[in-house]
Structure 1
Amino acid sequence: MSSQRAKTTERSLHLIETIQRLGGASLDELTAEVAFSRSTIHIHLRTLLEHGYLAKEGEVYHIGLRFLNHGEYARSRKTAYTLAKQTVMDLADRTDEEVEFVVENDNRGILVHESFHPDSQFPSKERHISSAPSTAGIYYYLHSVATGKAILAEYSDDRIERVLDEWGLPRQTDQTITDEDALFQELEQVRDRGIAFADEEYVDGLREVGRRVEAPDGSVLGAIAIIGPKYRFTDDRYTTELPTLLDEAVSELEEDIRESYLEQYR
């Protein structure tokens, strides 16, 4: 891959990420935050504003709604993603728990679909990481969640090393795996049993059961996890009942994806 990059594009992207991280920012705040000249920042902001990628409220710039159009397109452009959404909703209804569909993006996991059972009383992971009303688009470090482990287990050791080189093994809780050898040992167990577990590794008190979703060409499309409080994820329910249910649901999803793929190319 070429190492050449468009500096102008990188600067615009950096400003967008900074504005989102700050929850909105004025020109003065951005000038203090990023290593660009004030005039350069102003040109980028004006261009992004004119094209709808930013919105301005008083003197404060915010992320614009035009990104919503692109995000929804990205989430719906693959039939497999739409089929995964239905599986997520069905599992949430059957288990009375939170269910997520996550795919790898930028060597992290990005949340594509999530569903809650209306009777679930346990707060979602979202409340621990953001005040945003929508959870779609949240990034996870792959080593700290069941979906991420299920995805990593499908990768070669070299590719896993590239992920770790970029993001490391950040600690989310006292239970998060932060040792590389321990992570590789766990991934071997995931490969053997076909199911990944995360026991209070992302949020204290939260357990997860995950399984990868395979694409028709044999590559990993993403992963689905059932997530809930430790007091409900006990004994056989955590280690046997939910993994079996998840395995059956994902196997059906993979068959639906294959049939959709074959239908498309008939």
Structure 2
Amino acid sequence: MSVSSVVLLELKAIDLSFGSSQVLKQLSLEVREGEIYSLIGPNGAGKSSVINIINGIYQPQSGQIIFAGQVLHNYKAKHAPYLGIARTFQNLALFKQMSVLDNVLTGRVLKSRHSLLGALLSLPSTQKNDDLQRFKAEEILKLLNLQEYRDQLVSSLSYGLQKRVELARALAAEPQFLLLDEPMAGMNHAEKRSIAKFIQKINQQLNITIFMIEHDLAVVMDISDHIVVLDYGKKIAEGTPQQIQEHPEVLSAYLGIQAL
């Protein structure tokens, strides 16, 4: 997907505190349509707090959240799916005793036109809707090479495959903006390489803008269009991967010259 000049998400002067601890300080950023936008920084820098603000889980004390040109007032997590925002979590949040296909189908809830009366009466329209939801879920399984696992319980899969199922479930909602909170955490090198390719595939084939937190700097530098570096809740650098690798404050204060 080519990066547009249109700003899809803007955070303006965001302040977030918990008690006397200030987590984010006057944070501003812009994410353009079509980007793979990565947020990096050491543990405790405030990265997950940023995703939780974009997802409506945290409400900042001050600043603005603007999505698709709309200032979000009283924004909560329940509103995010209706805006076209989906996410994965740092820790797996799957239904372990359900099949892969059924997990992905749970992501289709907002797209379903299922009615209780139609289900009780077994109306043709209900069957048609069920067939459509299954077809859409199967398309996502195919995109992420999960067809062979469709009927297996999620609990029987490797950790890397479970992370891929969680990604599939997020995609089932047909978002325009996807939040990935450490999508490669706990994976081996081969699994990371695989998931990185799927992230690029999602971005390019499904035209989904991606906002990602990830600790594997090699992957971040390889697939990102734009990178922001946080340290102690403040933005200390932003730019292309090349600009970040050459940024003196990043090299000295966070990454260390050896890291890159």
Q: Using CA pairs below 8 Å that are at least 6 residues apart, which structure has the higher relative contact order?
A: 2
TM range (shorter): under 0.3
> Bigger radius of gyration, 1 or 2?
1
More helix by share: 1
TM-score (norm 2): 0.26
